[in-house]
Amino acid sequence: MRFPLIPPIDEDSTAAARRRQQELTKPAGSLGELEELSVRLAGMTATPRPRLERKAVILMAADHGVTREGVSAYPAEVTPQMVLNILHGGAAVNVLARQAGARVMVVDVGVAADLPPVEGLLLRKVAYGTRNLAVEPAMIPAEAEAALEVGLAVVEAECERGLDLVATGEMGIGNTTASAAIVAAISGASVSQVTGRGTGLDDGGLQRKVALIEKALAMHNPDPQDAMDVLCKVGGLEIAGLAGVIIGAASRRVPVVLDGFISGAAALVAVGLVPQARPYLIAGHLSVEGGHRVIYDTLGLRPLLDLDLRLGEGSGAVLAFHLVEAAARTLDEMATFSEAGVSDKTP
């Protein structure tokens, strides 16, 4: 499969933003991580003073055959119900997106039910969920590639509408199981280290989930150096779709704010497929899922927020929009010492 070319970070814009940070009316470094983030944004967008007014969360929805193994506290029927709740504006991501001034795009890339046509829903179903990774590979390569293509096409269309900043979101019962398998396979961490309670498993359920993932990885033996192999054997359609969103956004110089554990797994896949995508990633928050820190360590990212979130949907990434935009606005809108007529010399 061929992916779009991703441009390198623009060094001239990076240098210009760093110089401007030194000239703003504040002690150098006094805005901490916001300063470094603003410089990164300048390099990503190839704009010395980036403005991030047009924001969106792209939410990929799909089901997982592994839910038949009892790895979730909720049945698969919850996926389409929650998708409709999001489309009707009643989910957490809707509330937080409205606050952030961001639009929400919902994509059915693999829900195991036929959803009615609703405004805001893109019907791009590749399959009615994945196969049960506990007994066979989750996807054939053609399905994984098709889901990646969905992500690429959706973000391309959103860029044509106007897009300065994108968040990754997802909905799919059972997707923490697939994500834990991906993270363990690519990072080399133990399954127990990267597997959490998901939607709220008890101790016994967590132990069964760990054992199932260990068995699946031993059975399928995915190649950690081959992200497509990992994706096909233990991944998910929405994870593939989000990997496509990440790659497509990076190819258009649109910064990507990652949400939780599932989005992080998609980022590992995206960077495995196209390493040049990594500099365009912003870690929105740190989930309570233990494997999320492993993802960030593997990608070399530092999360903006740590609020014990574990909802998904893109909720944590949309919350982080406020900090990302604050970084860009302080770089762009603050006065320099010369503009303000303030001396930048210490007595």
Q: Which residues are catalytic?
A: 313
Nearest to 323 by CA among 41, 85, 124, 127: 41
Rounded to 10 degrees, the C-alpha dihedral 278/280/284/286 comes to 10
Place of tokens 């900090």: 323
- Where b means 16+ CB within 10 Å and e means fewer, 304-316 reads bbeeebbebbbbb
Nearest to 233 by CA among 246, 218, 249: 218
- The backbone region for 97, taken as left when phi is positive above 0, alpha when psi lies in -120 to 50, beta otherwise, is alpha
Query: Residue 299: which residues within 8 A CB-CB, separation 6 or more?
Result: 264, 267, 268, 271, 278, 281, 283
Tokens of 333: 């809108």
Cα–Cα distance for residue pair 232/272, rounded to 1 Å: 13
| Total Cβ atoms within 10 A of residue 177 | 26
Asked if 140 contacts 219 with a C-beta cutoff of 8 angstroms, the reply is no
Sign of CA dihedral 303, 304, 307, 312: negative
- The per-residue DSSP string of 240-294 comes to HHHHHHHHHHHHTT--EEE-SHHHHHHHHHHHHH-GGGGGGEEE-B--SSTHHHH
- Where b means 16+ CB within 10 Å and e means fewer, 37-71 reads bbbbbbbbbbbbbbbbebbbbbbbbbbbbbbebeb
